[in-house]
Chains A and B, each alone.
Chain A
């Protein structure tokens, strides 16, 4: 009995370490993408003030939700946090991109950038991600129910 418990604890520790590693790798990938994007987008920062801050804030919240979601891996909350992340991305982009019409003024020059097409594609992808999270939640619950019935 004790031996079985020890094995379970070991399994649990290994599982948690793997989860942590997986999350760390994901965060590192996101940070690498951010650093690369920052360098590519550096020329645009001249024309779009606050672009770097906007991306940094977005990534901070995105990574936080991703970490929380991964920490709750194996529970139904993982899918809820994943769905919340998708809704956050939609809401954040709508607000930060001013509904897709960016309007900047430099001295006597007014610049308008219409990124509605980009926003629409992102919203569609995030809605797809949200639907996926809900499907995963349903799948998770149905799996639990099947186990209980058996």
Chain B
């Protein structure tokens, strides 16, 4: 019985040495893994979705290979509904290797701004859930997750319509000039059209006009729209404003003029 006991003892000791050496070196290797997420590039893809492409760099100078590196990003509005999700999987990162990839995330701005119209006019914050996971030394799963908030810039911040300037165009029509302005605080620029229809008190259309808007990201915008309206005397009119861009639709907004 002595021999089997000794063999078990020696085998156990060898296994312990291997296990301790592996565990210690695997933990020590963790400090040699570098992960960088850069500033996003924004582009427009199909269905007018905004594509945020984050440059991702992962350097593994540790002792072991890494498997199943997984980066998952979820963006939620303040009501908790998910508006964007990004997912990047790198199956294998060899020891001493640097991997450069992009972490893509599509933001459906139409859905976001459709359900949260105050985001059109008010700067706010979106909640971002970032989760990174991997198999360190190929066998030890590690996951890090974080909640953070990112600022949301309103695309139509401080939207204002000035008092219309009315002048006589001809015997039957008046020329109404409506000046408007807003600040695009968003990361993206947009183009679209602004339509205004003028209705009489009785609800009859007496004129309408349209203008094209081209707003650059993070910049103020001002424009005007000329409307030829029937010169039938009306004491009180109301304007119906409809804004359509590739990312969102807004309206109809009703503005009443007159007494």
Report A's interface with B, CB cutoff 8 A. Answer: 33, 37, 40-41, 43-44, 47, 108-115, 117-118, 121-122, 125, 128-129, 131-132, 135-136, 138-139, 142
**Contacts A/B (CB < 8 Å), 5 sampled:** A37-B20, A112-B144, A114-B140, A114-B143, A136-B5
Whether the pair A128, B8 counts as a contact (CB closer than 8 A) is yes
* CA gap between A114 and B141 in the complex, in Å: 5
Chain B residues numbered 109-152 whose CB sits less than 8 Å from any CB in chain A: 139-148
Residue of A nearest to B28 (CB): A40
CB-CB nearest 4 A-B residue pairs: A114-B141, A43-B31, A44-B27, A112-B143
Residue of A nearest to B131 (CB): A110
Is B2's beta carbon under 8 Å from chain A?
A: yes
Q: Mark B144-168, 1 if CB is under 8 A from A, else 0.
A: 1111100000000000000000000
Interface residues on B, range: 20 to 34
Whether the pair A108, B142 counts as a contact (CB closer than 8 A) is no
Residue of A nearest to B136 (CB): A113
Kindly identify which residue among A43, A111, A121 contacts B142, using a CB–CB cutoff of 8 Å.
A111
Secondary structure at the B interface, as helix, strand, loop or mixed, is helix
Whether the pair B20, A109 counts as a contact (CB closer than 8 A) is no
Is B204's beta carbon under 8 Å from chain A?
A: no
Report A118 CB to chain B, min CB distance, Å.
6
Whether the pair A114, B23 counts as a contact (CB closer than 8 A) is no
Q: Which residues of B contact A47 (CB under 8 A)?
A: 30
* CA gap between A132 and B5 in the complex, in Å: 6
Report B130 CB to chain A, min CB distance, Å.
9
Whether the pair A40, B16 counts as a contact (CB closer than 8 A) is no
Q: Which residues of A contact B147 (CB under 8 A)?
A: 108
Residue of B nearest to A126 (CB): B12
Report A97 CB to chain B, min CB distance, Å.
12
* CA gap between A118 and B9 in the complex, in Å: 20
Q: Which residues of B contact A114 (CB under 8 A)?
A: 140-143
Is B1's beta carbon under 8 Å from chain A?
A: yes
* CA gap between A118 and B8 in the complex, in Å: 20
Most B CB contacts (10 A, CB to CB) among A37, A114, A115, A135 go to: A114
Known pairs A40-B24, A135-B4; A109 contacts B145 (CB<8 A): yes
Is B187's beta carbon under 8 Å from chain A?
A: no
Q: Which residues of B contact A122 (CB under 8 A)?
A: 19
Known pairs A44-B30, A108-B146, A113-B142; A139 contacts B8 (CB<8 A): no
Q: Which residues of A contact B143 (CB under 8 A)?
A: 111-114
* CA gap between A93 and B147 in the complex, in Å: 31
Whether the pair A132, B8 counts as a contact (CB closer than 8 A) is yes
Whether the pair A110, B140 counts as a contact (CB closer than 8 A) is no
Report B127 CB to chain A, min CB distance, Å.
11
Q: Which residues of B contact A129 (CB under 8 A)?
A: 12
Q: Which residues of B contact A138 (CB under 8 A)?
A: 1
